[in-house]
Amino acid sequence: MRNFLSARAKAIPPSGIRKFFDLAVSMEGVISLGVGEPDFPTPWHICEASIYSIEQGGTSYTSNRGLLPLREALSVWLRQHYNLSYSADEEMIITTGVSEGLDIAVRAITDPGDEIIIAEPSYVSYSPCVTLAGGVPVPVQCREKDHFRVNPDSLMEKVTSRSKAVIINFPNNPTGAVMRKEHLSAIADIITDHDLLLISDEVYSELTYDGIHVSPASLDGMWERTITLNGFSKAYAMTGWRIGYFCAPPEICDAALKIHQYVMLCAPVMGQVAALEGLRRGEAEKDRMVQEYRVRRNIFVKGLNKIGLSCHLPEGAFYAFPSVEKSCLSDNEFAERLLTEEHVAVVPGSVLGRGGEDHCRCAYAVSRENLEEALTRIERFMHRI
Amino acid sequence: MDEKDLLLLRLLEENSRLSSEELGLMAELSTEEAGRRITSLEENRIIRRYTTIIDWERAADGGVAAVIELKVNPERDFGYDRIAERLANFPEVRALRLITGVYDLQLVVTGKTMQEVARFVSESIAPMDRIRETATHIVMKTYKENGQCFYEREAGERIPYSF
């Protein structure tokens, strides 16, 4: 029989943590700091609104772009919160999570051989999405000395005549780094000068702990060359509902919509109804959760530094990204031994791209009790090795 | 009162055993500053008391609670205040509120047995001057108290890793 697998599918590396995953599920009493999602259930009023809508028969397809009231509410919300101007009719698509938004963004703009620069360490799907679209992923490393922001000089070094776009994600998974206006302006200049496009994944935007999130498309000259991706998963504790949104100028939006309508048709209506309820009445619950993440961040990062795992204070998202250098283990060994010996699950930084080596990602979206217990176990581990 | 004070109150409401050091760490304040703010909240009687939330049913103490509603004739000059304060003096009265609607005052009363609660209402409350009518509702089961759910919730399945 022939080998039916495509070269593109084969080119994607398998998950870097499969063995950790299998180990963790076979163990009792694991505290997982490996999960990139809120530990809170979705606020009840959001669930209630969606349940009611199902009871009323709200179980059909929506328009390809998504429910109009949701897009209209988002259009107003984005203007009020991030000074972004996207029309509900032509410049927005409701997607099945930001994951789908990223995929249709990359596919809408990538021709074979196009180089897509990816700020790393990063969420794991960027590079495979580019590969699947026939593009060439080009990592640009964000360094600890730069507070894990994109350094303009490093970005410049990666720009070639084949460069098409840059993918960034701030507040960042896995480092918790935030790029303020002045940092974004510096890279915006490069993007404009070299006629590149920016794909900005802002799914952690509401988890910005000091000051407010700056959306790159709100900077002068950037709106026309930016695809803004965001969603409800993190801020509203709605990961399982799979609702994101894609915003871009009409021409790009139309191209992405063609892909979206053929591969997804529309995002699930139950999730869209839930998202609208979150947007209309979810502010207080969202703020309460964000405040709690901030409290946990303070406890956890102080604890890590006390143990000797040096960690900068993350300004956003819910990840700490400590260096494991002091353990004299590689990040992979550290994560594996911490799991097998102390039953604490963390993600080794090297699976998250360049610049992740010698670090591990710890999600502090777990209860304070579990965070304290995890710190006790990590401290015991560090004393023993 | 500012954002930090509100955060301290929220943290203490959830767990009143947190030390100034822990509170300071959580709220990004020095231990001294956290302590000073808490003292001030106590002095201003914003923090009234440090207490616990107990599921007495679980403690198998077998107590009985009742919600009692009263129609009351208010007094000239004093309205409902004097009668309410007299009612509040009874240790059996755990909570007391002035409410809108058909009834005026709402009480939560506890006792060891149903008889004890019934006797308290019929002998101590109902005969008081100015009380025109009572309605007694025995609590059958408590699902939530002071923001705490008393029923066990099955935690949703969470995978050990996701990106």
Residues of A contacting chain B (CB within 8 angstroms): 17, 20-21, 24-25, 30, 32, 34-37, 39, 41, 123-125, 173, 291, 295, 298-299, 302, 345, 347, 352
Instruction: Give contacts of B26 with chain A, Cβ < 8 Å.
Output: 295, 298-299
Cα A165 to chain centroid, rounded: 18
Structure letter (DSSP) for residue A57? T
Give yes or no for residue B149 having a pLDDT over 90.
no
Q: Is residue B67 a contact partner of residue B61, using CB atoms and an 8 Å limit?
A: no
* A38 upstream amide cis, omega within 30 of 0: no
pLDDT at position B37, please?
A: 97
**Delimiting residues of CATH 1.10.10 domain(s) in chain B:** 3-43
Backbone angles phi, psi at A173, to 5 degrees: -100, 120
Nearest-Cα residue of chain B relative to residue A293: B26
Low-confidence ranges of chain A (pLDDT < 70): none
Q: How far apart are CA A146 and CA A227, in angstroms?
A: 25
Residue of A21, A125, A299 with shortest CB distance to B26 = A299
- Per-residue pLDDT tens for A72-114? 999 999 999 999 999 999 999 999 999 999 999 999 999 999 9
The mean pLDDT of B26-35, rounded to a whole number, is: 96
Q: Is residue A104 a contact partner of residue A244, using CB atoms and an 8 Å limit?
A: no
* Residue A233 DSSP SS3: coil
Give yes or no for residue B60 having a pLDDT over 70.
no
CB contact under 8 A, A302 and B158: no
Q: With b meaning 16 or more CB within 10 Å and e meaning fewer, what string describes A160-183?
A: eeebbbbbbbbbbbbbbbbbbeeb
How far CA A365 is from CA of A90, A137, A211, A350, in Å, comes to: 36, 30, 21, 21
**Delimiting residues of CATH 3.30.70.920 domain(s) in chain B:** 64-140
pLDDT at position B62, please?
A: 67
Q: Quick one: which of A195, A378, A200, A208 has its CA closest to A304?
A: A378
What's the ipTM? Answer: 0.74
* CATH class of the domain whose range is B3-43: mainly alpha
Give yes or no for residue B56 having a pLDDT over 80.
no
* Residue B24 DSSP SS3: helix
Cα A117 to chain centroid, rounded: 16
Mean of per-residue pLDDT scores for chain B: 91
Structure letter (DSSP) for residue A146? G
Q: Quickly state the pLDDT bin for B61 (edges 50, 70, 90).
A: low
Amino acid letter for position A249: P
CB contact under 8 A, A34 and B10: no
Nearest-Cα residue of chain A relative to residue B163: A36
CB contact under 8 A, B26 and A298: yes
Interface with A, mutate which of B28, B161, B162 (most A CBs under 10 A):
B161
Q: How far apart are CA A53 and CA A94, in angstroms?
A: 18
Instruction: Give contacts of A306 with chain B, Cβ < 8 Å.
Output: none
The mean pLDDT of B118-140, rounded to a whole number, is: 92
CATH architecture of B64-140: 2-Layer Sandwich (3.30)
Q: How far apart are CA A354 and CA A360, in angstroms?
A: 13
List alpha helices for A61-218, DSSP H: 68-82, 97-109, 126-132, 152-158, 181-193
Angle between helix A283-307 and A368-384 (nearest 10): 20
Backbone angles phi, psi at A183, to 5 degrees: -70, -40
Q: How far apart are CA A82 and CA A71, in angstroms?
A: 16
The mean pLDDT of B9-25, rounded to a whole number, is: 94
CB contact under 8 A, A32 and B25: no
Q: Is residue A315 a contact partner of residue A176, using CB atoms and an 8 Å limit?
A: yes
Cα A170 to chain centroid, rounded: 8
Domains of chain A: 7-42+284-384 (3.90.1150.10), 44-281 (3.40.640.10)
Q: Is residue A220 a contact partner of residue A85, using CB atoms and an 8 Å limit?
A: no
